[in-house]
């Protein structure tokens, strides 16, 4: 499959001429979900879920579909009968030619005084790629490419290093990075690379929005 990094936590997967987009939120491009046959959303926070971007994709293609937790799906399900699917931990489905497994239930803790919301991760094509959303979820299966949330109000550097070591992917690609300045990207890149504490056998890389690679 071809992997394209889009803004923040949004990514596009393309295989056989068909596209799947995960988490087209307000920090991603206006056209983040354009042309996608399938849109997957991990949770309701606006940096992962922008209703206008998703509606534009669903309006443009009558066959396009959305998979998301109930908190997201219920916001648009009435307008797209049969095309919006509620998913939760343990569900499996096919979307745009990709096999998808759903893992996880809750968003990571931001602060004990803030309520936790639903959050799911998506493992695509038997663990070829795993997008955890806003949680450090272990899918309980081998992962080839881990999409790593590098910087957020709910995580710290030691946690993401240990997360990569725990899942032991071949490669970790940065997501959830829109809050970092250019200097911040350099710092994280150095500390997650050979000069840092080490990620086991995993290779870390950050693609800039619009850049693609083959998985």
For the chain, the domains span 2-102+112-214
Give the C-alpha separation, 85 to 144, whole Å. 26
Q: What is the pLDDT of residue 137?
A: 98
Cα-flanking dihedrals φ and ψ of residue 36, to 5°?
A: -80, 135
Mean pLDDT of the 173-194 span = 97
* Length, in residues, of the chain: 215
Q: Kindly report the pTM of this predicted structure.
A: 0.98
pLDDT in the model for residue 153: 97
pLDDT 10s digits, 129-146: 999 999 999 999 999 999
Give the residue-averaged pLDDT of 162-187.
Answer: 98
Q: How confident is the model at residue 55 (pLDDT cuts 50, 70, 90)?
A: very high
Of 6, 1, 2, 29, residue with least CA distance to 174: 6
The whole-number pLDDT of residue 34 equals 97
Looking at residue 148, what is its pLDDT?
98
Residue range 33-43, pLDDT digits in tens? 999 999 999 99
Distance between CA 95 and CA 90 in Å, rounded? 16
Answer positive or negative: Cα dihedral of 145, 182, 208, 22: positive
Mean pLDDT for 173-202 is 97
Mean pLDDT of 153-175: 98
Q: What is the pLDDT of residue 112?
A: 97
For residue 54, the number of C-alpha atoms closer than 13 Å in the C-beta half-sphere is 31
2-102+112-214, superfamily in CATH?
Ribonuclease Z/Hydroxyacylglutathione hydrolase-like (3.60.15.10)
Give the mean pLDDT of the chain. Answer: 98
> Residue 176 — very low, low, confident or very high, per pLDDT cuts 50/70/90?
very high
- Which pLDDT tens digit goes with each residue over 63-88? 999 999 999 999 999 999 999 999 99
| Mean pLDDT calculated for residue range 15-41 | 98
User: Residues of the chain with pLDDT > 90: what percent?
Assistant: 100
If you write DSSP's letter for every residue of the chain in order, what string do you get?
A: -EEEE-STT-EEEEETTEEEEE---TTS-TTTTTT-SEEE---SSTTT--HHHHHHHHHH-TT-EEEE-HHHHTTTGGGSTTTEEE--TT-EEEETTEEEEEE--BPPPS-TTSPP-B--EEEETTTTEEE--SS----SS--SEEEEE---TT--HHHHHHHHHHH--SEEEEES-TT--HHHHHHHHHHTTTTSS--TTPEEE-PPTT-EEE-
Report d(CA 176, CA 153) in Å as an integer. 11
Average pLDDT over residues 7-14: 98
| Predicted local distance difference test score (pLDDT) of residue 161 | 98
Q: What does the pLDDT read at residue 66? A: 98
């Amino acid at each position: 499959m071809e992997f394209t990094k889009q803004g923040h936590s949004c990514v596009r997967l393309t295989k056989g001429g068909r596209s799947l987009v995960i988490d087209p939120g307000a920090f991603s491009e206006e056209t983040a979900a354009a042309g996608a046959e399938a849109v997957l959303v991990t949770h309701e926070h606006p940096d992962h879920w922008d209703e206008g971007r998703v509606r534009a994709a669903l309006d443009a293609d009558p066959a396009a579909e959305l998979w998301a937790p109930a908190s997201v799906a219920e916001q648009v399900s009435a307008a797209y009968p049969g095309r919006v699917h509620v998913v939760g931990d343990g569900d499996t489905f096919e979307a745009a030619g990709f096999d998808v497994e759903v893992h996880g239930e809750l968003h990571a803790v931001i602060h004990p005084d803030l309520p936790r919301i639903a959050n799911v991760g998506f493992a695509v094509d038997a663990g070829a790629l795993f997008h955890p959303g806003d949680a450090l979820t272990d899918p309980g299966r081998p992962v080839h490419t881990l999409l790593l949330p590098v910087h957020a109000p709910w995580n710290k550097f030691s946690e993401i290093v240990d997360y990569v070591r725990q899942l032991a992917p071949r490669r970790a690609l940065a997501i959830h990075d829109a809050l970092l300045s250019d200097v911040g990207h350099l710092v994280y890149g150095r500390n997650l690379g050979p000069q840092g504490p080490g990620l086991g056998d995993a290779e870390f890389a950050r693609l800039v929005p619009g850049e693609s690679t083959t998985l």
